[in-house]
A and B are shown apart, each in its own frame.
Chain A
Amino acid sequence: MLGPIRIMWMRQIKEYWRSKPRLIASIAQPTIFLMALGFGLGPVFQQAGGGDYVQFLTPGILGMALLFGSVFNGVSILWDKQFGFLKESLVAPVPRISLLIGHSIGGATTAVFQGIVLLPVSYFIGFRLDSLLFIPLIILFMFLISFLFSLLGISMGAKLDDPEAFPLIINLVIIPIFFLSGALFPINNLPDFVTPMAKLNPLSYGVDGLRGTMIGSSDFGIVTDIGILLVVTFILLVISNYLFEKLET
C-alpha cells in the first residue's frame, strides 16, 4: 500500500512543481492578500482599539492559503477523467483508498509549501511569531488543515464531471467556510445565528490552532483543535473512500 501512496504523492508534487504559472500564482495570491489586508486594514483595526491586526490576521490568511491551495487539488481528478488517465488508476489492483491518500498527501504537501513560504513574507509586514519553538506544531496544523481540505476537494472532484464548473462550485463551498472561520474577524463577534455554523466549521479549529501556535492565543485549546480536525478528517476519509470505490469511467 505504501508504494501506490508514494507514487501518487510524487505525481502531485511533480505536477505542481512543473507548472510554473500555478506555482507562482499559488504563492502570489496569499501574499497579496496578506499585504493588502495587513497594510490596509491594520491601522483601522488599531484605531478601533482592536489590538495588533497583523498578528491576528496572519494566521487567518495562512489558513486561507491552505484552504484554497488544498481544495483546488480536487480539480486534477476531473482532468484525469477528461484526459482518460483515471482509467489507468481505476483498473489497477490497489485499494483505491491508497490512491486517495496519496493524492491528498500530495495536495497537502503543496499547500503546506505555500504556507511555509508565507511565513517569511509575513515578517516583512510586521508579523512576529510568539515562539520559534512552536514551528513544528505550526507545520503540523498546516498539514492537518491541508489534508482535510484536500480530501474535501477530491471528494467533490469524484462527484463532478465538468472541469469548467469545478472552480465555481468549489468557490460556493469554500467562501462561506473561509468567512465563517474567524480567519479575518473573530467569530465571537458574529451574530448569534451564525455562531453555530462557525463552530461546525473545521477551518475554525484550524485557524484557532494556528493562532494558538503562532501568537499564543487560542479559543478552544490546541488539543481540542487537533482532535476535531482529526475526527473531521476521518469522516471525510470514509466518505471519499466510498465515492472513490463507486467511481467509474
Chain B
Amino acid sequence: MNAIEVDSLTKIYKKFTAVDNITFNVNEGEIFAFLGPNGAGKTTSLKILTTILQPTSGNIRVNGYDVLHKKNDVRKSIGVIFQSNSLDEKLTAYENMEYHAVLYRLPKKEIKGRVNKLLENVELLDRKDDLIKTFSGGMKRRIEIARGLIHTPQVLFLDEPTLGLDAHTRAFMWEYIRNLKENNNLTVFLTTHNLDEAEKIADRIAIIDKGKIQTIGTFEQIKEITGVDTLEQAFLKLTGHEIRR
C-alpha cells in the first residue's frame, strides 16, 4: 500500500502558483525526500499533506485517508516537525511537550516518563522547567525534534528537520527514525537542503523546483537519468542553480 498518494496537486496563493500539478506516491516504510531550492514549494506541499492548508486542486491521500474529507483520521496517523518555530515561548520545555502528549492522547501515567526520556535524549532534561523564550535557536529545534517523537505515528513529516541542529542531535534523530522505520514500518516524508543527508537517508528523492517535480527516483536512478556522478551535480543540472541555504 502507498502511505502517501498525491495526484495532480496544485496550490495557488492569490495568483502565484506555488505548487504546480505534482503527482507522486510514497510507499509504506519508505524514507522519501523532497529536495529543492528556496521557494520551490516544499513547505506548501507539506502543509497540504498534513491538512493545515487547503489545496487549490488535486487528490491527496495519507494512510489511505483523503486529506480534505478525513482530516481527523489523517491527523491521528501522522506526526509533523515544522520548518518554522511551532513552540509556545511562554511555556516551559516540559509544558510544551506535555501539551503535545495530551493532544496526542498519551496515557496520563506514561507522559512524564516519556517526556523526560526524550528531553534526556536531546540533552535538555536539566532545562525542562525553563521557559522556551530563554532557549537558543538550536535548543528550540532540539525541543521540537523531541516533541515530534513523543507519539509514534505511521507517517512522519519533517520539514528541514536538521536545519540549525548540532551533529549530536542530528545523529540521535536519524538513529531513532531508522529504528522506527525498521521496527514499526514508519514512513518518512522529509524536505531538505542537505544533499549528503538526502543521499544517505532517503530511499527515494524528488527534486522539486518552481512548484514542479523535475525528477523522482532513487539516488542511482537520478544519477543515471541526468548522467552525472553526484547528487549535487544532478541538482545543478535540473534546477540550474546552486542549492541555496
Taking CB atoms, residues of chain A closer than 8 Å to B237 are: none
The 4 lowest CB-CB distance pairs between A and B, nearest first, are: A93-B75, A92-B103, A93-B76, A84-B85
Q: Which of B76, B82, B91 contacts A14 (CB 8 A)?
A: B91
Decide: B75 and A84 in contact? CB cutoff 8 A. no
State the CA gap A3–B53 with chains docked (Å).
25
Instruction: Please tell me the number of chain B residues within 8 Å of chain A, measured between CB atoms.
Output: 28
Interface residues, chain A, with chain B CB atoms under 8 Å away: 3-4, 6-7, 11, 14-15, 18-19, 80, 83-85, 87-95, 248-249
| Interface check B225, CB cutoff 8 A | no
**CB-CB contacts below 8 Å: B200-228 with A:** none
Mask, B85-104, CB within 8 Å of A = 1, is 11111110001001110111
Report the minimal beta-carbon distance from B217 to chain A, rounded to whole angstroms: 29
Taking CB atoms, residues of chain A closer than 8 Å to B98 are: 7
Report the minimal beta-carbon distance from B66 to chain A, rounded to whole angstroms: 15
Most chain-B Cβ atoms within 10 A of its Cβ — which of A7, A15, A80, A87? A87
Report the minimal beta-carbon distance from A230 to chain B, rounded to whole angstroms: 28
Main secondary structure on chain A at its contact with chain B? helix
Decide: A90 and B52 in contact? CB cutoff 8 A. yes
Instruction: Report if A92-B90 is in contact (Cβ < 8 Å); known contacts: A83-B85, A248-B53.
Output: no
A-B contacts counted at CB < 8 A amount to 73
Decide: A94 and B103 in contact? CB cutoff 8 A. yes
Most chain-B Cβ atoms within 10 A of its Cβ — which of A6, A14, A91? A91
Report the minimal beta-carbon distance from A51 to chain B, rounded to whole angstroms: 46
Considering the complex, give the chain A residue whose CB is closest to the CB of B88: A85
Taking CB atoms, residues of chain A closer than 8 Å to B85 are: 83-85
State the CA gap A6–B101 with chains docked (Å).
13
Taking CB atoms, residues of chain B closer than 8 Å to A3 are: 102-103, 105
Taking CB atoms, residues of chain A closer than 8 Å to B51 are: 91
| Interface check B80, CB cutoff 8 A | yes
Decide: B86 and A92 in contact? CB cutoff 8 A. no
State the CA gap A186–B53 with chains docked (Å).
48
Given A3-B103, A15-B91, A84-B86, 8 further pairs, Cβ under 8 A? A3-B105, A7-B99, A7-B103, A83-B88, A83-B89, A87-B82, A91-B51, A93-B104
State the CA gap A18–B50 with chains docked (Å).
33
| Interface check B84, CB cutoff 8 A | yes
